[in-house]
Chain A
């Protein structure tokens, strides 16, 4: 009875199941007989107070208007992928490679060939053979713009909409706006985030309550196999002790709840403890990839050297969103090709190509792609010209904030669309430019959130993800 309210808020679809689950957990615990009388005493107070748990910071909330997407998988390609060699087809750049460009360096013709794919005939380079098969699901924005072409500024900008000040990350805003649909799991998870360029503030909550910050799994550079979520279990001297400890704590808490006439904060503590017990159980289960079939693992490229790590991340992401996590960010580093474009970029593409294609397929097969918004992109893109490094011409491209490419998929976006365009070489967006703030506004829009109304009062004014900018790009919405 006690935790019923919490479960109603957590899983409104099936309160009966939650209740059964709770009873199972709560009644056959360690030393439960001795606790029975106490529990009975506090039952009256807690059942009526239970409804208050809905007011917790993570309680699910309705969007501003009907949402197309319910959750986000954010694929961060750290470093700034080269659009010229992947998703922004520039025939003129092939033709004029070697000529001097407007920034006084030689134009660098794309090193790989493009073809058209799918019904939509989207142009995709040979670096993404798997993704190319998903062409009709991709909503490619070729006309992205951001405010800085320096990693240290552009990275927080992508994640928080600001580089001047520490601001809540997009995931924190989303969690603040929509709450956590499955209280048994963290609502916002970031896998292997970078420690550079703002580090944790890229997934922090800044002035929003800290409940909205991301739960981190691993660090950049660490194999995701070894990355764990902390404090999910403890060393026990004998079986059942952990449950016994929890039972005693909760018994005392319920007694206190009664003494305080159902204080909502005390109820909150009780709910959080109950949920923590569920998390102990559900998180390892969700993160356990061995529960997947061999064919699924193979589809994601798990077990193959180059795709193993990102494949695991993608499969993990699918399992997490499937279990109800609102916002998952995955990261792949090393997209900063100032040189060695010819050797490194293919490696990066190989690492993510098959896993991402598998993720889209998998989501589709499970009927989840329609309401899962997938984002792919870096903090900016790259230049059409070669770069001079230490006085020598390098086979690489410098940063570009005035025109670059990202893509969205699922979650109510128009698939098979190439939106906007850069000039003939891909220096800058010339047709339908989409500023990063517009992208943020659009992503929130797809989640049913009006970026103008998703505000939080801090330091005397109402802040939002898009600051004073941002227009929803309705053309991207299906």
Chain B
């Protein structure tokens, strides 16, 4: 009765409060709900007696299983739900946690049983304990279990406003009574009588987002009809022209030949054309002159060196680990060479992708060459050279690598930012967290082989891949030899130990003898009948007796501790014994030393004659026990959620994809899925990357993000048509480049048209060629090419290899970037320690995936070009080269012929000087100087040539200044129209047009031009 009384009071008040609350606080705008709640409240009052009986055991917090079957528990739970839980959910939670919510907070939907069961980003919110069976034992166990389960349920902890968790509802804490009801309800298995509301909001959202254009298979479209039908040269042009015409725009003129030649040289091989190379094409009247040039450039080995760099940006290639302890990666460079080779040999892009993900897992082809096999083993380096925290360990370390691998894989090949799904379902794209861990399982089952050695702060060394001819054999021999050294070191080290002990004993014996000598001498003084001093006497005595010494260090040591010093010994006797001991100890040391020497020599000899090691590369391999992994709640692997089977992104349904073989990591299946023609993204993403490098802007501007937050394609049909063509025609990168650069669109001039500029100032519709700045590698290579210093022979390996395994901060920065005249792609890419020039000219951080580079114009660049020793030195080299050409008769086209210009030291040699100016201009800008430029250049050069007193090496110095000026010009580092050779004065743009253009550009700068909104 007492219990009932107690229960009555709480239940009664609670019910009444709810009824009153419901009446006075109607839910906004929802009359039906208000009526329902009031009714519920009144019903509660009416049926109080009945309810009391039903709830009495619950109120007492004594859910006795024997008092009811599971069905009974469910029934009680449902009643609790209706009375307490549902009103709270509706009233306090749905606003943010239901389908009707504007955004579903924390991924938690509380308006359906499925949502409640599923939980949110932090995992399940209710820990259910199934009540099964009726036995007393089970019931007791279940009882305590239930209580724990309930209190540990996230839902309850959040409602209780526990520390370290969000407090819900945000502005108020529910009453204790309601909280207790929640607890009991969970203890009763959290039964939920609500009807399923069909698919959850998350599923709905997933389906809706999956309709995004990029997740649909690309379909080739027929080129549209165009008015200016004689303009297009290829389907590309038709698509472009159609779009231009639809906006009332038109393409400008074609670029002149010299402009096109320069553009093609830089775009395809990243080097400036020599004057001869320009002339060759300019003077070639054959209709296929440009095609021949394109084919020649694509066939050049320089092509791979240019385009590999684009790819290295994407895969964040680097030769050190970065992060807080930055360790060298001496064996990353083979990947660089692999990419260069792949591009030069036009390796089909799908194969290129498969090799980088799973080259090590590909079955050996019957006629596969050793080089091909090695290439596909090096390719997975991409999974190994990412930034890493080598000082961490365990899952911290492994998960860090996996996060990076998922990020680079999905952004590089799919243009998707999957990393966002690590902690919660992707906020924008249809990528649920479980997909992230499906991929994580694959990469956790993979062991990246990046090398490094065990040293301070480097806890996780791995094997490496021996490469080169006989790489494996050499590595095996070297490893066996290392074992031999270890074996030889064993007896040597043991002997060393022995010697150490013997030496300690000798030291002790020496001391003991000294002591004994002191005592003996004191004793002698006392008796004073012997004259001899201790020392010589000892020697003599020893020599006389010739007593054999027992080479037993241990015994001597024991003797030291007093065994050989009986009490009845006289000091002299003790002294004699000590002398003997000392002799024995000395003899032992001598003997051991003698024995040690050959052992040491043996080790040293072995070490001196180490067999040559092969070069090594990074790689990857499957771990011994591939396994699925668990979702890490909120990205924290210490809070594991449900296990997810290994797999791919569920939004991209690839019909012909194979499921992961449980015995393997699943990388090969992933690679096949990534390159399937049924996968809508890989071809589009790569075609777009190619387009970006040739136009300075992708058809999809966000080249690494094709998701919902990415930019929409400016020419969707063109993109899709090219994507289909790409995969259909054997994924040939070279063919794709070829068809783009042979289009009329690519070959447009960069001339400005006032109307077009006004309508489309950003040139999104490609009515002209946008002036583009060369990338830093190209700027450097061009300077070296002009100076004649460029070493086109690819270097062997990398300077980082010579540094060995060490922490970068300990290396002199000069050694990280030793002087080099090789092409820029071969300069070491040490994270955080890039060449100065790279840092200044927008080289992307090699710790981050960067498909697109920013282009900035800042004074630091100007300072470098004007004042750096590098540019000064190259200018001097260029001047020497220029003067050398001047000494022999040289034909200079365009500006007449120079005959036998011997020396420019004479100021009178004006013609020769003018020829030199022209040549310098042709080297740097692929065009001769205008008359005004010629004058200006000579005005710079002459005072130095004519200086009184003469300047040492004045000619070199003088012409070097001209090159310094040229290297710093915008024209040198921009792809812009070259004025035809005949034009000596620049064509002035008509004033009206100029005003219009400037107005349009102003608009462009203010980001409010007309087409900006219309053109995605």
Contact = CB atoms under 8 A, between A and B. Distances in A.
Contacts of B400: 164
Given A186-B860, A270-B970, A199 B832 contact: yes
A471 interface: no
B859 A238 contact: no
Contacts of A263: 771, 976, 1001
A67 interface: no
B868 A231 contact: yes
Nearest to B832: A200
B563 interface: no
Contact of A245 (B704, B839, B961): B961
B947 A238 contact: yes
A266 B970 contact: yes
A237 interface: yes
A268 B857 contact: yes
Contact of A37 (B867, B932, B977): B932
B864 A231 contact: yes
A166 B968 contact: no
B781 interface: no
A260 B1001 contact: no
Contacts of B416: 460
B324 A197 contact: yes
B771 A276 contact: no
B233 interface: no
A467 to B, nearest CB: 11
Interface string A35-60: 10110010011001101101111100
B509 interface: no
Contact of A262 (B707, B858, B944, B998): B998
A275 B848 contact: no
B696 to A, nearest CB: 10
B989 A275 contact: no
Contacts of A166: 322-323, 387, 845, 847-848
A186 B858 CA distance: 10
B489 interface: no
B866 A31 contact: no
Contacts of B323: 152, 166, 198
A279 to B, nearest CB: 5
A211 interface: yes
B709 A201 contact: no
B836 interface: yes
Given A256-B969, A459-B849, A235 B937 contact: no
Q: Which of A30, A45, A54, A265 has the largest count of B CB atoms less than 10 A from its CB?
A: A265
A30 B872 CA distance: 19
A354 interface: no
Given A51-B1005, A166-B848, A253-B970, A260 B866 contact: no
Interface in A243-298: 244-249, 251-253, 255-266, 268-273, 275-276, 279-280
Nearest to A54: B1005
A233 interface: yes
A205 B844 CA distance: 10
Interface in B275-321: none
A276 B840 CA distance: 13
B997 interface: yes
Nearest to B957: A237
Interface string B838-875: 01101101011110001111111111101110001000
A86 to B, nearest CB: 26
Contact of A156 (B324, B943, B989, B1004): B324
A265 B961 contact: no
Contact of B998 (A49, A153, A156, A205): A49
Q: Which of A33, A45, A52, A248 has the largest count of B CB atoms less than 10 A from its CB?
A: A248
Contacts of B993: 261
A234 interface: yes
A262 B943 contact: no
A92 to B, nearest CB: 25
Given A244-B940, A260-B750, A261-B752, A48 B998 contact: yes
A272 B859 contact: yes
Given A200-B832, A232-B863, A459-B411, A245 B964 contact: yes
B936 A235 contact: no
Given A166-B322, A260-B750, A31 B809 contact: no
Interface in B808-853: 808-809, 832-833, 836, 839-840, 842-843, 845, 847-850
A7 to B, nearest CB: 13
Contacts of A102: none
A195 B807 CA distance: 11
A213 interface: yes
B429 interface: yes
B510 interface: no
Given A57-B856, A459-B419, A210 B968 contact: no
Interface in A338-395: none
A272 B862 contact: yes
Interface string B681-705: 0000000000000000000000011
B615 interface: no
Interface string B646-675: 000000000000000000000000000000
B194 interface: no
A273 B856 contact: no
B420 interface: yes
A277 to B, nearest CB: 8
A259 B986 contact: yes
A458 B858 CA distance: 22
B772 to A, nearest CB: 9
B979 interface: yes
A98 interface: no
Nearest to B985: A41
A273 B936 contact: no
B720 to A, nearest CB: 22
A455 interface: no
Contact of B1002 (A51, A257, A280): A51
Contact of B863 (A164, A235, A269, A276): A276
A210 B998 contact: no
Contacts of A260: 750, 752, 771, 976-977
Contact of B936 (A31, A199, A210, A269): A31
A457 B707 CA distance: 13
28 contacts: A45-B994, A52-B1001, A152-B325, A210-B854, A232-B867, A235-B872, A237-B951, A242-B866, A244-B939, A245-B940, A245-B968, A246-B965, A248-B936, A249-B969, A252-B965, A252-B966, A252-B971, A258-B988, A259-B977, A259-B979, A262-B994, A266-B970, A269-B857, A269-B973, A459-B411, A459-B849, A460-B420, A460-B710
Interface of A: 30-31, 33-35, 37-38, 41, 44-45, 48-49, 51-52, 54-58, 151-153, 155-156, 163-164, 166, 183, 186, 195-201, 204-207, 209-211, 213, 215, 230-235, 237-238, 241-242, 244-249, 251-253, 255-266, 268-273, 275-276, 279-280, 457-461
The 5 closest A-B pairs by CB, nearest first: A460-B417, A268-B857, A152-B324, A276-B862, A34-B939
Interface of B: 322-326, 387, 389, 391, 400, 407, 411, 416-417, 419-420, 427-429, 457, 704-705, 707, 709-710, 750, 752, 757, 771, 773, 808-809, 832-833, 836, 839-840, 842-843, 845, 847-850, 854-864, 866-868, 872, 930, 932-933, 935-940, 943-944, 947, 951, 954, 957, 961-962, 964-966, 968-971, 973-974, 976-977, 979, 986-989, 993-995, 997-998, 1001-1002, 1004-1005
Given A49-B998, A166-B847, A262-B994, 14 more contacts: A34-B938, A49-B1001, A152-B389, A153-B324, A230-B836, A231-B866, A231-B868, A238-B944, A238-B947, A242-B866, A261-B757, A272-B858, A458-B848, A459-B848
